[in-house]
């Protein structure tokens, strides 16, 4: 698990941690980008300790229906999840996350 050195806590917003999580997923498994509660990033956040997560393009929130509390996603994460031409597999998302990390 990756940690934020300044706080000593795991850093769920680290692209390296997102990549490590994606590496554990079956590459051909699909996700539903259009579902704010079951999309790639919602699954990632839930599996990494955030509860009742909802994701919209560019933003996330904890607690369903808490529309006033949306916060920005880390830079580039929306592109990792969205892809092009409905390339909504964990393998394609992993490729996009690695490209983001290399940029």
Helix axes 15-23, 90-102, angle to 10 degrees: 150
Per-residue tens of pLDDT for the chain, all 103 residues: 444 444 445 699 999 999 999 999 999 999 999 988 889 999 999 999 988 888 888 999 887 665 557 889 999 999 999 988 888 999 999 999 999 999 8
For residues 10 and 4, the answer to whether their CB atoms sit within 8 Å is: yes
How crowded is residue 75: how many other Cβ atoms within 10 Å of its Cβ?
11
Question: How far is residue 70 CA from its own chain's centroid?
Answer: 15
Number of H helices, E strands in the chain: 4, 3
């Amino acid at each position: 698990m990756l940690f934020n050195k300044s706080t000593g806590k795991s850093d769920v917003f680290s692209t390296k941690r997102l990549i490590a999580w994606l590496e554990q997923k079956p590459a051909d498994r699909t996700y539903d980008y259009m579902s704010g509660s079951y999309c790639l990033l919602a699954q990632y956040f839930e599996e990494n300790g955030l509860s009742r997560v909802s994701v919209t393009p560019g933003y996330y929130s904890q607690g369903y229906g808490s529309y006033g509390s949306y916060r920005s996603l880390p830079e580039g994460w929306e592109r990792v999840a969205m892809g092009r031409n409905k390339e909504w597999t964990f393998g394609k998302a992993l490729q996009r996350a690695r490209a983001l990390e290399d940029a």
